[in-house]
């Protein structure tokens, strides 16, 4: 990290990531809820950074932008949630133009967002009830159906110390492996429950990039691009979030070709087959091919015990519901019991 600040803005020129000089000006602008972007002058010419989409445009193609965070294990950055009240952005918990104060604050919204970035939260202000949709980043009046824009921005150079006796609200705990000279592989849970490695050129980060950031600070956050989508990777929680849609996927770190180590491998997931016997989820095979293992299911379960996940077995696709502990064949709608041992 080039400065003592907890943040670092970097620019990808199509070949390598470079730290942007005097990025404190970008950070201070980014932390203003009303700022849509900023224009900076670089050796590549004038570039425009779009804060909502987290993209950069300029005279050259293949440009990308990312924001890294470097915090100690007992620190977190304060985040503000804002809605556009007519012509100005107001933080939740403060008094709006109508004179009413919302019954919810930025901290409480952030906690709900971390638990489920695809969800929503309801609150009241005056005699009205509202819903904040995290995916659409909108606020809706439940009576008049009026919608307002919502933004989530960090507060400038504002970090708080987390009580070490209390758990930090993350969806999954980091998988700590012993430091060895073996090259580490970073993977995310892809479609149909299949672990997929971070690789270039489809992704702006690969395993080596992520491992380097992880060694610098296991609590950091990093923005990256895959395809046409922008994501944030939370190393302290071992998950990534699609910045546009709010989709969250679990991430894991493994050493070389070793099997995933620790807590996930000690749990077995089983389904009750048509013959009445409990059978393990086994990845691979031929006629009974399954796209997930017990470790894969446990990783998703740790991320959201009330959620669901999709997988494939043979020629059928299934939905596994953690709340009901059932699996449903999405073609025949056959439902079978599931258990966790």
Determine phi and psi for 53, rounding to 5 degrees. Answer: -85, -15
Q: Which CATH number fits domain 75-161: 3.90.1170.50, 3.30.720.50, 3.40.30.10, 3.40.50.2300?
A: 3.30.720.50
Sheet holding 147-161, edge to edge: 88-91, 75-85, 147-161, 138-141, 128-133, 120-125
Identify the three-state secondary structure at position 25.
helix
Q: What is the pLDDT of residue 114?
A: 82
Q: Are the beta carbons of 183 and 256 closer than 8 angstroms?
A: yes
β partners of residue 335: 328
Architecture of domain 263-340: 2-Layer Sandwich (3.30)
The answer to whether the 75-161 and 263-340 domains have the same CATH topology is yes
CA proximity to 132, closest of 154, 159, 110: 110
Identify the three-state secondary structure at position 129.
strand
Which residue is listed with tokens 């059932």? 326
Q: Are the beta carbons of 232 and 226 closer than 8 angstroms?
A: no
Q: What is the pLDDT of residue 98?
A: 60
Q: What is the pLDDT of residue 163?
A: 55
- Mention every residue, 6+ apart, whose C-beta is less than 8 A from residue 99: none
Q: Are the beta carbons of 255 and 184 closer than 8 angstroms?
A: yes
Q: What is the pLDDT of residue 178?
A: 38
User: How many distinct helices (H) and strands (E) make up the chain?
Assistant: 4, 24
CA distance 321 to 309: 7
Which fold does the domain 171-259 belong to in CATH?
A: 3.30.720
CA 30, chain centre distance (Å)? 19
More confident residue, 87 or 139: 139
Q: Buried b vs exposed e over 49-80: b needs ≥16 C-beta within 10 Å?
A: bebeebbbbbeeeebbbbbbbbbeeeebbebb
More confident residue, 18 or 75: 18
- 106-164: per-residue pLDDT in tens? 999 988 888 888 788 999 888 889 999 988 899 999 999 999 999 999 988 777 665 54
Architecture of domain 1-68: 2-Layer Sandwich (3.30)
More confident residue, 265 or 291: 291
CA distance 292 to 271: 13
- 276-288: per-residue pLDDT in tens? 888 888 776 545 5
Q: What is the pLDDT of residue 50?
A: 92
Domain ranges of the chain: 1-68, 75-161, 171-259, 263-340
CA distance 306 to 299: 13
Q: What is the pLDDT of residue 8?
A: 87
Q: What Å distances lie between residue 178 and 64, 100, 216, 264, CA to CA?
A: 32, 53, 15, 16
Q: What is the pTM of this model?
A: 0.52
């Amino acid at each position: 990290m080039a400065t003592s600040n907890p943040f670092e803005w970097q620019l990808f020129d199509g070949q390598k990531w470079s730290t942007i000089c005097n990025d404190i000006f970008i950070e201070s602008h980014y932390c203003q809820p009303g700022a849509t972007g900023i224009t900076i002058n670089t050796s590549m010419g004038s570039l425009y950074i779009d804060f909502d989409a987290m993209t950069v445009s300029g005279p050259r193609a293949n440009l990308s932008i990312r924001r890294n965070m470097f915090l100690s294990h007992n620190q977190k950055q304060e985040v503000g949630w804002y809605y556009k009240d007519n012509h100005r952005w107001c933080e939740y918990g403060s008094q709006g133009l109508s004179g009413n104060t919302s019954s919810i604050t930025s901290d409480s919204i952030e906690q709900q967002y971390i638990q489920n970035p695809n969800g929503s939260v309801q609150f009241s202000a005056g005699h009205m009830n509202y819903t904040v949709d995290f995916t659409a980043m909108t606020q809706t009046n439940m009576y008049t159906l009026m919608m307002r824009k919502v933004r989530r921005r960090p507060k400038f150079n504002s970090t708080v110390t987390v009580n070490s006796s209390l758990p930090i609200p993350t969806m999954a705990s980091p998988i700590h492996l012993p430091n060895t000279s073996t090259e580490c592989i970073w993977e995310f849970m892809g479609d149909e429950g299949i672990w997929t490695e971070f690789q270039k050129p489809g992704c702006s980060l690969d395993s080596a990039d992520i491992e380097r950031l992880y060694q610098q600070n296991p609590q950091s956050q990093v923005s990256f691009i895959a395809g046409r989508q922008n994501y944030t990777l939370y190393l302290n929680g071992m998950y990534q979030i699609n910045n546009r849609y709010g989709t969250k996927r679990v991430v894991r770190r493994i050493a070389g070709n070793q099997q995933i180590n620790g807590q996930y491998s000690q749990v077995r997931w089983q389904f009750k087959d048509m013959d009445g016997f409990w059978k393990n989820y086994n990845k691979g095979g031929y006629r009974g091919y399954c796209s997930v293992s017990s470790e894969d299911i446990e990783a998703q379960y740790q991320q959201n015990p009330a959620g669901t996940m999709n997988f494939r077995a043979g020629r059928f696709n299934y939905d596994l519901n953690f709340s009901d502990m059932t699996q449903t064949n999405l073609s025949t709608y056959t439902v079978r019991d599931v258990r966790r041992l």
